[in-house]
């Protein structure tokens, strides 16, 4: 990686999560601490326990007949979100060949929910449903669908590195643009709820029976969520940009992070180095903040060692749930929306009390004015797969 990264500019942002659809609904929820889609899971877990999830409650679009073969919840969430950037893409296609527009999507679930339903149908009837399409189980399905939806034909693929998938999609998109393989990239992440992931995290005894409380003394684990965040990226200057990224792969444990936080710290250090920034240049940190003991302790240690306790920090997963492969994308959208408003995000719930094993950080009690128009966003995944991004708002178009 070059020491200093050439900025990659953002020309469109789309978001759909438990907070709602688009900028206004997302920021309203961040400000008020209210999230309509954060609700009790409507099925009993295999363990007999219960939990909360972050669910998309907005009506999902109907697909045009020519795309009916692509119908699954992941793709419907993607299509509903894509509507927010469709006009930007159509405008760009007037001057950019479809073959020069790529698609890079982070995901971890694709159409697992439909696969679960199909298996249950097979158990009852001895055959798979007539409309079941095994291709939907492929991790690349959502990226392929978005390319069809946008009618573009550049490099198209998905990345799946668990909870850092979307951040790595940004890193990969930056490579496509910097290398000249693409002029525009539709980038982001999409994940939908399914029994496998909710019960999988329950088997690790990591899901909370109530809304999650990242970094809080009363935390009881995570809420699995679903969401989509999509971005239009190019090298043409605009006010918002990805200016730095960092990644690390510590491989400490299959599902637990390095307790000392060294892998997370290295990803953040690299992000600062590639952006040619110092820790004091960051105005707000959107923490991975899962509300699990191991992550919260590790991440707070890494942040304190690198930033001290001067930079405002919060985790927005208390309102969206942990959206797994889409976590980085929905949080990138939140970060960019916050930059546009020059605000940081408070740490919810309102009665937040810092856990004893969490280092003393500047957890925000309310929205505040950014001291610097740069935000660092963290996504840390199973296997020690860590990725951090730095976004910046320029007061004027930046050359």
Cα(34)–Cα(43) distance, rounded to whole angstroms?
23
Other CB atoms within a 10 A radius of the CB of residue 382 amount to 15
Cα(348)–Cα(187) distance, rounded to whole angstroms?
28
CA distances from 175 to 2, 257, 332, 343 (A): 11, 27, 18, 29
CB 386 within 8 A of CB 247: yes
CB 391 within 8 A of CB 339: yes
Cα(173)–Cα(175) distance, rounded to whole angstroms?
5
- ∠ CA 308-314-316, rounded to 5°: 155
* Per-residue b or e along 27-46, where b marks 16 or more CB atoms closer than 10 Å to that residue's CB: bebbeeeebebbbebeeebe
Q: Is 235 exposed, middle or buried (0-12, 13-18, 19+ CB in 10 A)?
A: middle
163 is catalytic: yes
Catalytic residue among 194, 288, 323, 335: 288
125 is catalytic: no
CB 165 within 8 A of CB 325: yes
Place of tokens 């999650």: 212
Catalytic residue among 11, 136, 322, 323: 322
Place of tokens 């927010």: 84
136 is catalytic: no
Catalytic residue among 11, 136, 163, 194: 163
Q: What is the four-CA torsion angle of 360, 363, 365, 366, rounded to 10 degrees?
A: 150
Catalytic residue positions? 163, 288, 322
């Amino acid at each position: 990686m070059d020491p200093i990264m050439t900025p990659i500019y953002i020309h469109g942002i789309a978001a759909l999560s438990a907070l709602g659809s688009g900028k206004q609904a997302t920021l309203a929820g961040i400000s008020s601490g209210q999230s309509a889609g954060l609700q009790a899971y409507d099925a009993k877990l295999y363990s007999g326990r219960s939990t909360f999830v972050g669910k998309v409650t907005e009506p999902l679009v109907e697909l045009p007949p020519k795309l009916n073969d692509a119908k699954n919840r992941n793709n419907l969430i993607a299509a509903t979100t894509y509507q927010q950037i469709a006009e930007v893409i159509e405008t760009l296609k007037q001057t950019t060949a479809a073959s020069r527009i790529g698609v890079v999507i982070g995901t971890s679930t694709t159409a697992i929910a439909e696969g679960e339903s199909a298996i249950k149908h097979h158990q009852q009837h001895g055959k798979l449903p007539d409309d079941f399409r095994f291709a939907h189980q492929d991790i690349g399905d959502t990226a392929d669908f978005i390319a069809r939806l946008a009618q573009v034909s550049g490099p198209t693929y998905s990345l799946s590195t668990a909870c850092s998938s979307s951040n790595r999609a940004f890193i990969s998109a930056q490579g496509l643009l910097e290398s000249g393989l693409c002029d525009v990239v539709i980038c982001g992440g999409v994940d939908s709820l399914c029994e496998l992931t909710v019960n999988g995290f329950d088997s690790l005894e990591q899901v909370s029976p109530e809304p999650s409380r990242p970094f809080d003394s009363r935390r009881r684990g995570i809420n699995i969520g679903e969401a989509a965040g999509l971005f239009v990226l190019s090298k043409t200057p605009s006010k918002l940009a990805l200016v730095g990224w960092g990644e690390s792969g510590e491989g400490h444990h299959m599902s637990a992070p390095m307790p000392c936080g060294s892998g997370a710290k290295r990803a953040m250090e690299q992000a600062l180095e590639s952006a040619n920034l110092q820790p004091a240049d960051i105005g707000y940190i959107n923490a991975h903040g899962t509300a699990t003991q191991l992550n919260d302790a590790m991440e707070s240690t890494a942040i304190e060692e690198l930033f001290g306790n001067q930079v405002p920090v919060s985790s927005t997963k208390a309102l969206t749930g942990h959206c797994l492969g889409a976590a980085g994308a929905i949080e990138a959208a939140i970060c960019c929306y916050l930059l546009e408003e020059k605000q940081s995000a408070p740490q919810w719930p309102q009665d937040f009390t810092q856990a004893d094993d969490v280092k003393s950080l500047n957890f925000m009690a309310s929205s505040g004015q950014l001291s610097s128009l740069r935000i660092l966003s963290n996504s840390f995944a199973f296997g020690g797969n860590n990725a951090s991004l730095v976004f910046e708002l320029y007061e004027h178009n930046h050359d």
